[in-house]
Amino acid sequence: MKMGIGGRLIASFAVVGVLLLGVAATGMTGIQWIGDGLTQVVENRYPRIETVNETINEVNTISIAARNALIADNSDEIATQLERVKAGQRNLEVLRDNLDQILVSGAHAGEAEQSRQTLREHSGHHLSELDNVTGAIRDNNKWQAQVLLLEKLNPRQTLYLSSLRELIERETLLMRQDQRAAQDLVFQGRIFIIVILLVAALATALLALALKRRMVRPLERASRLADAIAQGDLTQHIAVSGQDETAMLAASLNTMKSRLAPTLSNIKQVSSDINTAAGEIAQGNQSLAARTEQQVAALEKTAASLEELTSAVRQNAENTRKASALSATASEVAAKSGRAINDVVITMSGIS
């Protein structure tokens, strides 16, 4: 399918966008995994460990109060210590119930069920033996209370504390495993993101090269052709390949060049004709100027001749006037002579 420049740009940006979305999705997935791991630690592992530690502290507090009640000589002090033991028992029951809820509600509830049953069993034995010890102390039977404490309560307490510590160790181990898993997820996420970024960079470089080959280079060739046409060089030509906008531009430039060629040829011919005519006109002007100079010289000579002729005419007119005057005088003299001759003829005729 043929794609134009717009389609290629959209496809290129779409590919880059998909890669970026892949990076974002990978990052979000990794963050979700890390968040799940932290949730597992915060909501399950840590509360279990915290509750178990509180239980251990409460067991130790009860043990100390029971021993203090056993060795105390004052009845008030014995009552105070026994009241601390009673309050501790109530706290242990509350902590045991809370721990049961935490163990059955969190992740790996199936694995925690066995631990929950074991702890409840040990807790029940511990509280039962504790009641026996405190009862013997209330009955002021310290020897029996001491025997129960050493032979019954202490082993039950040791077993209960061992179960609690085993739970702490197991939860601590699982917490460390969750931590390592989260670290592994972070590392894998980083590696995957780096790989995606490298792929995105490579894809971007390939897209840039493809766009340069399919868009920038044809535009550069079109620009060079346009510059050549602007300088009057119509011998250049662009090879047209494809049907996109750059191919259409190249075809348009080739068509424009083909249409400009005859026009430019006509312009050159007309310019040559104009130059020839201008040369002929210049030559004619030079010839006209030469003839004009000759005519001016002839006119100057004619003017000089006319002046001489005018002077001669004037002289002739003066001479004519004088001749006319002399002619008139001669005519008058001739008339007088004619009359005289006539008178002589008449006289001669009369004589005859």
Residues 94-135: tens digit of each pLDDT: 988 888 887 776 555 566 677 778 888 888 898 898 899 999
- pLDDT tens-digit map of 242-271: 666 666 766 776 777 677 667 767 777 777
CA distances from 119 to 43, 163, 171, 273, 282 (A): 20, 6, 14, 119, 128
* Residue 230 within any structural domain of the chain: no
* Residue 184 within any structural domain of the chain: yes
- Domain around 69: 5-214
* Residue 260 within any structural domain of the chain: no
Which residues lie closer than 8 Å to 157 by C-beta, 6 or more apart? Answer: 59, 63, 126, 129
* Residue 33 within any structural domain of the chain: yes
Q: Band of the pLDDT at 224, cuts 50, 70, 90?
A: confident
Among candidates 221, 82, 86, which has minimal Cα distance to 138? 82
Instruction: Give the pTM.
Output: 0.49
* Residue 225 within any structural domain of the chain: no
CA quadruple 323, 324, 330, 334: dihedral sign: positive
* Residue 115 within any structural domain of the chain: yes
For the chain, the domain total comes to 1
- pLDDT tens-digit map of 137-191: 888 888 998 898 899 989 999 998 898 888 888 888 877 887 787 778 778 878 8
Domain CATH for 170: 1.20.1420
Among candidates 107, 112, 63, 70, which has minimal Cα distance to 85? 63
* Residue 174 within any structural domain of the chain: yes
- pLDDT tens-digit map of 281-321: 777 767 766 777 777 676 677 767 767 767 766 776 677 67
* Residue 338 within any structural domain of the chain: no
Contact 44, 185 (CB under 8 A): no
Contact 83, 202 (CB under 8 A): no
